């Protein structure tokens, strides 16, 4: 019996945004592993073991899944959005680098629709020209690195997507982020707050940088900041494809 490991993205929330490839992997799995709210999105069925764990246990989860696959089980690690964007795929490769005894395990990464793309589509096309994605959590990198990347990205006039903008354990980082942007960008710069995109709780709001406040973001929100050319078109916002 040969096992395998798939690291799969469940998309932003709506089941219609899960790819057929991910659905097929889940249908063939014996084990599903992941952060508790993501595992809760997988339907229970006979013969499927669900292993839910805390979001600070990523390396332990990756080891567990590789051990299962090496033993002949068909394991799927689920992430929200895309598994390669601030999620589990890199954690699995970190473990594989440390523990080469699992190098023979069949591993596949199955893409999903990441939050910034789902949010951008709801708002219009704010990421229509060059853009970057920054994780505002300083759990895995020093704040100084975040601040440097923010300043350089704003100076280079990238549109920006901010993941993990604000949490109870990190209440101040997003306020500092807005203050840095106000030093570099004009007050009219357009900012999209997109919360719980593609779920019944979805809320999309469009404000200017001058109007943006830290309380507009939480851990279920992705923040999209336009570049200097980003503009409104009726109820939509878009960034022209050409730079001027």
Site for ligand SAH, rule CB under 6 A: 12-13, 79-82, 85-87, 114-115, 119, 163-165, 194-198, 219-222
Closest to 199 measured CA to CA, from 216, 215, 222: 222
At closest approach, how far in Å is the CB of 50 from ligand SAH?
19
At closest approach, how far in Å is the CB of 99 from ligand SAH?
24
Nearer to ligand SAH, 3 or 118 (CB): 118
161 - beta bridge partners? 133, 224
The rounded distance, in Å, linking the Cα atoms of 154 and 186 is: 11
At closest approach, how far in Å is the CB of 93 from ligand SAH?
15
Nearer to ligand SAH, 33 or 222 (CB): 222
The answer to whether 11 and 85 have CB atoms below 8 angstroms apart is no
Nearer to ligand SAH, 12 or 34 (CB): 12
The rounded distance, in Å, linking the Cα atoms of 74 and 70 is: 9
At closest approach, how far in Å is the CB of 20 from ligand SAH?
18
At closest approach, how far in Å is the CB of 83 from ligand SAH?
7
Nearer to ligand SAH, 12 or 173 (CB): 12
Nearer to ligand SAH, 164 or 239 (CB): 164
Classify strands 31-35 and 74-79 as parallel, antiparallel or unpaired. Answer: parallel
Environment class of residue 52 by beta-carbon count within 10 Å: exposed (0-12), middle (13-18) or buried (19+)? middle
Look at the block and give the residue holding tokens 């916002």. 237
At closest approach, how far in Å is the CB of 239 from ligand SAH?
19
Residue with the shortest CB distance to ligand SAH? 81
Nearer to ligand SAH, 67 or 138 (CB): 138
**DSSP structure class, residue 170:** B
At closest approach, how far in Å is the CB of 22 from ligand SAH?
13
222 Cβ contact partners less than 8 Å away, ≥ 6 residues apart: 115, 116, 119, 161, 162, 163, 165, 194, 197
Phi and psi torsions of 115, nearest 5°: -55, -40
221 - beta bridge partners? 195
SS3 state at 240? coil
Nearer to ligand SAH, 70 or 132 (CB): 132
């Amino acid at each position: 019996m040969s096992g395998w490991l798939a690291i799969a993205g469940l998309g932003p929330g709506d089941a219609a945004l899960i790819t057929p490839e991910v659905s097929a992997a889940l249908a063939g799995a014996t084990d599903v592993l992941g952060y508790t709210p993501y595992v809760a999105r997988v339907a229970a069925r006979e013969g499927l073991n669900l292993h839910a764990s805390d979001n600070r246990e990523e390396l332990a989860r990756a080891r567990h899944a590789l051990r299962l696959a090496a033993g002949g089980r068909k394991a799927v690690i689920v992430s929200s959005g895309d598994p390669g964007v601030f999620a589990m795929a890199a954690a699995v490769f970190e473990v594989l680098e440390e523990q080469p005894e699992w190098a023979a395990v069949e591993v596949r990464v199955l893409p999903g629709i990441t939050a910034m793309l789902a949010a951008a589509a709801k708002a219009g096309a704010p990421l229509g020209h060059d853009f970057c994605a920054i994780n505002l959590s300083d759990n895995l990198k020093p704040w100084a690195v975040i601040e440097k990347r923010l300043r350089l990205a704003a100076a280079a006039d990238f549109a920006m997507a901010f993941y993990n903008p604000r949490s109870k354990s990190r209440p101040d980082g997003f306020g500092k982020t807005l203050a840095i942007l106000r030093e570099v960008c004009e007050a009219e710069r357009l900012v999209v707050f997109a919360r719980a995109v593609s779920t019944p709780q979805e809320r999309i709001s469009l404000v200017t940088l001058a109007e943006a406040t830290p309380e507009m973001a939480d851990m279920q929100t992705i923040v999209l900041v336009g570049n200097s050319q980003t503009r409104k078109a009726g109820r939509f916002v878009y960034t022209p494809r050409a730079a001027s």
